[in-house]
């Protein structure tokens, strides 16, 4: 780092006092630092380039930068974090849609069901998982299993949640 008089000459100031003021500004903004003896050192902003990762044998590691555009499995499976619940499947009513007893579901509560969605509805104080079907103004629930009859609601259909993902973990 230059001394005050060297700096005065470089910048073309008339007095070292002007250089001193400039340095004070640069220190305030983090470009320079003073050590205990008052000597100037490069400040934290001097090298303020993003550090992307440690470099080993002279070749830059692009890993960190590339990973910025990846997401976790959580982020991939869950859109609305606050409204997502899990549940375990017991019945076989959706076997034709590939959902088996013991599977785990990620469901979104309060989401609006569209025709063809798999939903968790509340029927006779039980959870039931079915396809949500909409024919004109009429809605009904349909299983993916011929042993189950479609459910035509007599009162308002209570849809608790829409199924967003099925997880089957093998241990």
List residues binding other proteins (CB under 8 A).
Answer: 80-91, 93, 104-107, 109-110, 120, 122, 125-129, 160-161, 169-171
CB atoms within 10 A of CB 107: 21
CB atoms within 10 A of CB 87: 16
In the complex with other proteins, the residue whose CB is nearer, 7 or 159, is 159
In the complex with other proteins, the residue whose CB is nearer, 26 or 95, is 95
| Catalytic hit among 130, 134, 149, 169 | 130
Min separation Cβ 70 and other proteins, Å: 21
Instruction: Extract the tokens encoding 170.
Output: 């093998």
73 membership: H or E segment, kind and range: helix 73-77
Q: Please list, in sequence order, all residues whose beta carbon lies within 8 angstroms of the beta carbon of residue 81, skipping any fewer than 6 positions away.
A: none
Cβ–Cβ < 8 Å for 53, 61: yes
Min separation Cβ 103 and other proteins, Å: 10
Min separation Cβ 104 and other proteins, Å: 6
In the complex with other proteins, the residue whose CB is nearer, 19 or 94, is 94
Cβ–Cβ < 8 Å for 108, 114: no
Q: Is 93 a catalytic residue?
A: yes
| Catalytic hit among 15, 72, 81, 93 | 93
Q: Is 21 a catalytic residue?
A: no
Min separation Cβ 163 and other proteins, Å: 10
The C-alpha atoms of residue 128 and residue 166 are separated, in whole angstroms, by 15
Distances from the Cα of 111 to the Cαs of 6, 19, 80, 97, in angstroms?
69, 64, 9, 21
In the complex with other proteins, the residue whose CB is nearer, 69 or 126, is 126
Residues designated catalytic: 93, 130
């Amino acid at each position: 780092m230059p001394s005050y008089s060297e700096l005065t000459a470089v910048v073309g100031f008339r007095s070292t006092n002007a250089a001193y003021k400039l340095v004070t500004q640069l220190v305030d903004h983090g470009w320079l630092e003073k050590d205990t003896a008052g000597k100037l050192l490069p400040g934290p902003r001097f090298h303020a380039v993003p550090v992307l990762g440690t470099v080993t044998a002279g070749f830059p590691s692009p890993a960190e930068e590339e990973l910025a555009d990846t997401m976790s499995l959580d982020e991939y499976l869950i859109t609305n974090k606050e409204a997502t619940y899990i549940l375990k499947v017991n019945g076989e009513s959706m076997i034709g849609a590939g959902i088996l007893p013991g599977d785990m579901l990620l469901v979104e509560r309060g989401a609006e069901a569209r025709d063809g969605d798999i939903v968790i509805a509340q029927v006779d104080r039980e959870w039931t998982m079915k396809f949500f079907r909409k024919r004109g103004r009429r809605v009904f629930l349909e299983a993916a299993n011929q042993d189950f009859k479609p459910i035509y609601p007599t009162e308002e259909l209570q849809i608790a949640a829409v199924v967003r993902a099925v997880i089957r973990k093998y241990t």
